[in-house]
């Protein structure tokens, strides 16, 4: 990380029963918010919950352990400073997903996808497609924000519940992200654990292949159970044709994006170039849609400019003649990501306060004390990875902290670093999207328009992976110990 989080030099370490209080308060408040204020969970209520939990953490530490406020202030500054690039990328994802929609890229994918996909096999196909794209590109976020939105639209047209589709998309995207040598989380987990990248990927196959296999079987069973008769998608086809110029030429935009990612062009630059390409595509193929967004009477250069700008930064909707299709092609733009940015900042504050107060260290120390054998070591690592996602609100911080906590423990016991990196990926990487207040959970919830708690039960790969990690360790499928 670019900035180091200052340490609390107090000799008094928080008791675990004290350290767990802010986390319990946060979970209780989030659950209450989801039940009583579901429509405002992302728009302010969850942010207040994070601030309240952070306040309790600071108050307990200052009153009981005499921690100075400067320690918390410096920790918050360092953590938020490190998250700046991620926030900018998040805003650009809002622009890219909107321009992909208005340019006709996503409508074209939906248009042809509806005609070729069957409701019975849609869920496993959605998982496989997302997995392949994510594996080739190394990024789950971009996969979900592009092909994921198209698959969600196809699922809606095929009368598949959105939560099912979202679960399949996320499962596939995080499978590919986890196994791709181009993924930042894969590289990070191997590097901070001291593992060789390709040995790390090879040993992940012991847990990842069974996890994704079970996941695909479950989606196939759901499809066979739920699929039934193929729905008549004529409304969607007519609506898309009425609202957009459906053209295979628009698919040059995702091809360009894939090439940029394959060439390892930085994410920030890739998102900008992809958005610009989609904007150019919109000017060429969708001028009528841009004029409609600008609410202009004539097709002028000014109207096209206004329509393109509005599509990039605010909520827009194209009138296709059918309400269900209008909802499908509605966009949020950069402004649609602001609630998520707000929540990320609050989550970063809570996580940095837990680190500065040493409450997080106190909780992880309890896990270290329970280690007796290989299984308990992996179980402790996986549990810690999930706990760190709950507390830190960011998968990158969770990966770094988890590897740092256990690296010496694994080395002292003679285990290869690939066991640590695998256990970290099986927990920190894949479960981050299941926590409503993490950057991953908030981003995917915002991009797909589905609350985290709604899609969570159907993200089978993300749920199975940490369990499989423990099962495989119990069966002895671990890298050989160092001699």
Residue-wise pLDDT for 419-473, tens only, equals: 999 999 999 999 999 998 888 898 899 889 898 999 999 999 999 999 999 999 9
3-state SS assignment for residue 96? helix
As beta bridge partners, residue 316 has 331
The set of residues, in sequence order, having a beta carbon less than 8 Å from that of 283 and lying 6+ positions away, is 290, 304, 308
Report yes or no: 32 and 52 within 8 Å, Cβ to Cβ.
no
CA distances from 389 to 15, 194, 384, 424, 466 (A): 21, 21, 9, 11, 13
Apex 411 CA angle, 407 and 481, nearest 5: 125
Residue 277: the pLDDT is 95
pLDDT of the residue at 23: 85
pLDDT of res. 355: 84
The pLDDT value recorded for residue 154 is 87
Q: Measured between alpha carbons, how far is 390 from 283 in angstroms, rounded to an integer?
A: 43
- Judge residue 196's burial from the number of C-beta atoms within 10 Å of its C-beta, 0-12 exposed, 13-18 middle, 19 or more buried: middle
Distance CA 216, CA 222 (A): 10
Give 7's contacts (C-beta < 8 A, 6+ positions apart): 71
- Buried b / exposed e over 328-350, threshold 16 CB at 10 Å, is bbebbbbebbbbbbbbbbbbbbb
DSSP calls for 298-360? S--HHHHHHHHHHHHHS-B----S-HHHHHHH-B-TGGGGHHHHHHHHHHHHHHHHHHHTTHH
CA dist 222 and 217 (Å) reads 9
Average per-residue pLDDT for the chain: 85
In this prediction, residue 481 carries a pLDDT of 62
DSSP, res 476: T
Q: What is the mean pLDDT of each run of 10 residues along the chain (483 residues)?
A: 46 83 87 77 80 94 92 87 76 86 88 82 93 82 85 87 95 93 81 85 93 96 72 74 92 88 80 92 93 89 93 89 81 83 81 86 80 88 90 79 83 89 94 89 88 94 96 82 55
- Is residue 40 classed as helix, strand or coil in its secondary structure? helix
Give the DSSP H or E segment for 192: helix 184-193
List the structure tokens of 258: 């894939």
Residues 381 and 408: their CA atoms lie apart, in Å, by 13
């Amino acid at each position: 990380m670019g900035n180091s989080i200052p340490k609390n030099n107090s000799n008094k370490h928080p008791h675990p029963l004290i350290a767990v209080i802010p986390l319990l308060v946060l979970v209780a408040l989030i659950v209450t918010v989801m039940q009583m204020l579901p429509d405002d969970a992302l728009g302010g209520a969850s942010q207040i919950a994070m601030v309240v939990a952070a306040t309790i953490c600071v108050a307990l530490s200052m009153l009981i352990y005499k921690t100075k406020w400067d320690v918390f202030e410096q920790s918050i500054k360092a953590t938020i400073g490190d998250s700046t690039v991620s926030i900018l990328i998040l805003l650009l994802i809002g622009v890219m997903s909107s321009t992909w929609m208005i340019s006709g890229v996503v409508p074209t994918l939906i248009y042809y996808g509806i005609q070729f996909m069957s409701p019975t096999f849609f869920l496993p196909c959605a998982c496989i497609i997302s997995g392949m794209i994510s594996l080739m590109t190394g990024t789950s976020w971009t996969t979900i924000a592009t092909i994921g939105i198209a698959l969600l639209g196809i699922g809606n047209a095929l009368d598949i519940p959105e939560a099912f589709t979202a679960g399949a998309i996320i499962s596939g995207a995080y499978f590919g992200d986890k196994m791709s040598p181009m993924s930042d989380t894969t590289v990070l987990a191997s590097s901070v654990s001291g593992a060789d990248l390709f040995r790390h990927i090879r040993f992940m196959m012991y847990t990842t292949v069974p996890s994704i296999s079970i996941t695909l079987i479950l989606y196939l069973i759901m499809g066979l159970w739920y699929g039934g008769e193929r729905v008549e998608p004529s409304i969607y086809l007519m609506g898309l044709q009425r609202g957009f110029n459906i053209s295979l030429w628009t698919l040059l935009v995702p091809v360009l994006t894939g090439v940029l990612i394959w060439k390892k062009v930085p994410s920030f630059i890739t998102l900008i170039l992809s958005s610009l390409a989609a904007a150019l595509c919109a000017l060429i193929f969708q001028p009528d849609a841009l004029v409609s967004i600008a609410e202009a009477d004539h097709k002028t250069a000014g109207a096209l400019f206004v329509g393109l700008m509005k599509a990039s930064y605010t909520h827009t909707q194209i009138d296709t003649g059918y309400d269900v299709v209008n909802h499908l092609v509605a966009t949020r733009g950069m402004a649609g990501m602001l609630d998520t940015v707000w929540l990320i900042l609050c989550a970063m504050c809570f996580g940095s306060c837990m680190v500065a107060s040493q409450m997080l260290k106190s909780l992880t120390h309890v896990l270290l004390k329970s280690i007796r054998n290989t299984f308990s070591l992996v179980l402790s690592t996986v549990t810690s990875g999930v706990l760190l996602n709950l507390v830190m609100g960011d998968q990158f911080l969770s990966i770094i902290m988890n590897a740092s906590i256990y690296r010496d423990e694994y080395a002292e016991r003679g285990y290869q670093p690939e066991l640590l990196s695998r256990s970290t990926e099986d927990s920190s990487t894949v479960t981050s999207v299941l926590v409503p207040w993490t950057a991953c959970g908030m981003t995917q919830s915002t991009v797909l328009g589905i609350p985290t708690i709604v899609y969570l039960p159907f993200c089978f790969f993300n749920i199975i992976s940490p369990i499989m990690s423990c099962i495989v360790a119990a069966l002895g499928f671990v890298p050989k110990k160092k001699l």
